[in-house]
Homo-oligomer: A and B are copies of this chain.
Amino acid sequence: MRASDRAYARLRDDILHWHTPPGTVFAEVEQAERLKVSRTPIREAFSRLAAEGLLVPLAGRGLVVSELSRETIIELFELRIVLETEAARLVAARRNVDLFIGLKEEFEHAAELIDRGDDLASYYELVARLDAAMDESVGSRFLLGAIRQLRPHLARVRGLARDNRKRLSDAAAEHLTIVEAIIDRDSELAADATSVHLKKSLRNILESVDALEGAAGGRELTETKQGKQ
Contact = CB atoms under 8 A, between A and B. Distances in A.
A202 B85 CA distance: 22
Nearest to A74: B140
Contacts of A145: 53, 149
B78 A82 contact: no
Interface string A143-157: 101100110010000
Interface string A125-168: 00000000000000111110110011001000000000000000
A99 interface: no
Contacts of A150: 142
A118 interface: no
Given A44-B47, A83-B82, A86-B82, A75 B140 contact: yes
A75 B143 contact: yes
Interface string A14-54: 00000000000000000000000000000010011001010
Please report whether the interface of chain A is mostly helix, strand, loop or mixed according to DSSP.
Answer: helix
Interface string A62-97: 000000000010011011001100100000000000
Contact of A142 (B48, B78, B140, B143): B78
A199 to B, nearest CB: 15
A149 B79 CA distance: 14
Given A145-B53, A145-B149, A140 B47 contact: no
Interface size class of A (residues with CB under 8 A): 20 to 34
B140 A79 contact: yes
A47 B50 CA distance: 12
A72 B141 CA distance: 8
A140 B48 CA distance: 22
A176 to B, nearest CB: 26
16 contacts: A44-B47, A47-B47, A48-B51, A51-B51, A72-B141, A75-B141, A75-B142, A78-B140, A78-B143, A79-B86, A79-B140, A79-B143, A82-B86, A83-B146, A146-B149, A149-B149
Interface of A: 44, 47-48, 51, 53, 72, 75-76, 78-79, 82-83, 86, 139-143, 145-146, 149-150, 153
